[in-house]
Amino acid sequence: MASSGTFDEGRVPVGPAQADGPGGVRAARDVVLPLTRSRVADALTELGYPWFRDSGGDLGAMWAQAVFHVYLLGHDETVLQVRGSWHRRLNIERLGEVLAMLDGWNREYVGPKCYVRVLDDGLLSVVAESSTPLASGVSDSQLVRLLERGVGQGMRVMRDLEELYPDPAARAPGVS
């Protein structure tokens, strides 16, 4: 096929006439719009996640192994951050082994970014977070995928923590 050499070569036309298929119209789910808390709440609902809104207006979702918060960061709130915190705390003496586990995770996987926070009481909190800049906007389908990815990857970290540090209360007394 001969090339016309024009700048728009190979681009899909954008606008009301764009088709999904024969005779179709561009799906509303693919329209890029500004990121808003309302759109995030709608996406969490679509995913069936058990979400909540905290007193500061931030959104979150809870599971047995983690609590995830969804933040809109930056002065214009265009950075989507999904931050999960493991439901249990670890003794500070475990810092070296936890850091080794998370270092391995961070080297092996693209995301989420994993780190440890030392809390005021001296215990450790393990956090997994994914951040995506969306200053140009995001479609509904993209937003759903970003939330699904942030929570899904975070839950993989939480499952690894559960395997490394099983809950002693889940075992029968006297069983080690």
Ordered structural domains, the chain, with CATH: 28-165 (3.30.1460.70)
Please count the other Cβ atoms lying within 10 Å of the Cβ belonging to residue 112: 25
User: Cα angle at 28 between 79 and 154, to 5 degrees?
Assistant: 40
The alpha carbon dihedral of 98, 99, 104, 110 has a sign of positive
Q: pLDDT tens digits for 150-165?
A: 999 999 999 999 999 9
Share of the chain above pLDDT 90, in %: 72
What pTM was computed for the model? 0.80
Residue 9 is classified by DSSP as T
- Predicted local confidence at residue 33, as pLDDT: 95
Q: Assign 176 a pLDDT band (cuts: 50, 70, 90).
A: low
